[in-house]
Amino acid sequence: MGTVALSLGATTFAFFTRNPRGGAAKPPAPDDVRALRTLLDKEGFGRLVAHAPYTYNLCSARPDVVDFARRAMREDLARLEALPGGYYNLHPGSHVRQGSDRGIERIVEGLNEVLVPGQRSTVLLETMAGKGTEVGRSFEELARILDGVRYPELVGVCLDSCHVHDAGYDIADDLDGVLDEFDRVIGLDRLKALHLNDSKNPRGARKDRHERIGAGHLGLACFGRIVTNERLARLPMILETPNDLEGYRREIALLRSLAAEGTSEGSAPERRGTKEGNA
């Protein structure tokens, strides 16, 4: 995966910790892990952002679903110890008619079961679009989860541009206002990564349909503001746009040119990566 990312001009990338639909995962071969670590070091990659399968739901009403999510997360995090210092992105969960209060409570319980003091990956709660009964569509919901966990230093947030827009935040026209609100409710020190996606739908639609950068309701200018924003520019940025590899290569180059335009002196290069798939 490192060599593909490199060929696209990326300096980070995301990957699923197992088949995105869930299921069993075999541990990576030590030689493969060693080769990957050498490559990442040599090429100066930033932190990697693993993505948990979408099927995990820490706040399902079904105990077997919750048990599976907890067990699988524990396994994922144990395996990620082979790539220390990265992020593990998680959709907080869907409360399926139990209500978001109950959902938040169950997610906190689940995280407290799964997180191990001293672990070297940070779990990132993703900001969600609010499709169905998703928990995490508001900064307030995420803040309540973060406030409940026993090891807050092991948990941060990944902001998905399509999701916050779909959830109703005006990231398209008022990025700084949204970041101010994030800072007030959660604290910008908890923001560790970005998912860069345009949206096929208008603000507040709660649909979660990603669009290619600049082709949706966020628009190119919005991404120009994101990659040059001094509060964001050093975070790992992951593309989850509907693209093939050539499309990702073009989007990474486009974002780099927007970043270069916006910064008069050459500051540290931003981290850009891709993920195939759509979340």
* Residue 251 touches which of Fe ion, Zn ion, none (Cβ within 5-8 Å per kind): none
User: Binding of Fe ion at residue 79 (CB under 5 A)?
Assistant: no
Residues contacting Fe ion: total by CB under 5 A: 4
Residue nearest to Zn ion (CB): 208
Helix (H) or strand (E) run with residue 94 in it: strand 93-94
Look up residue 218 and give its amino acid: L
Backbone angles phi, psi at 276, to 5 degrees: -85, 145
Partner whose footprint covers residue 141, from Fe ion, Zn ion, none (CB < 5 to 8 Å by kind) = none
Residue 279 binding Fe ion, by CB under 5 A = yes
Element (H, E) at 199: strand 198-199
Stretch in the footprint of Fe ion (CB under 5 A) among 101-109, 122-130, 172-180, 216-224: 122-130
Sequential DSSP letters for 117-165: TT-SSEEEEEP----TTEE-SSHHHHHHHHHH-S-GGGEEEEEEHHHHH
Minimum CB separation of residue 104 from Fe ion in Å reads 18
Q: Closest CB to Zn ion among 142 and 279?
A: 279
Q: Using the rule CB under 5 A, is 195 a contact of Fe ion?
A: yes
237 binds, among Zn ion, Fe ion, none (CB under 5 to 8 A by kind): none
Q: Which three-class secondary structure state does DSSP give residue 135?
A: strand
Q: CB-wise, 168 or 262, nearer to Fe ion?
A: 168
Whose structure tokens read 């869930």?
22
Annotate each residue in 205-244 with x if it binds Zn ion (CB under 5 A) or - if it does not, as one string: ---x------------------------------------
Piece of 63-71, 101-109, 119-127, 215-223 that binds Fe ion (CB under 5 A):
119-127
Query: Helix 139-148 to helix 100-114 angle, to the nearest 10 degrees?
Result: 40
List CB contacts of 268: < 8 A, sequence separation 6 or more: 234
Binding part of the chain for Fe ion, among 17-25, 78-86, 118-126, 134-142 by CB under 5 A, reads 118-126
Shortest spacing between CB 207 and Zn ion, in angstroms: 9
Q: 121 to each of 48, 87, 115, 175, how far by Cα in Å?
A: 10, 5, 10, 28
Q: By C-alpha distance, which of 163, 31, 4 is closest to 89?
A: 163
Question: Which residues would be at the binding site for Zn ion (CB under 5 A)?
Answer: 208, 279
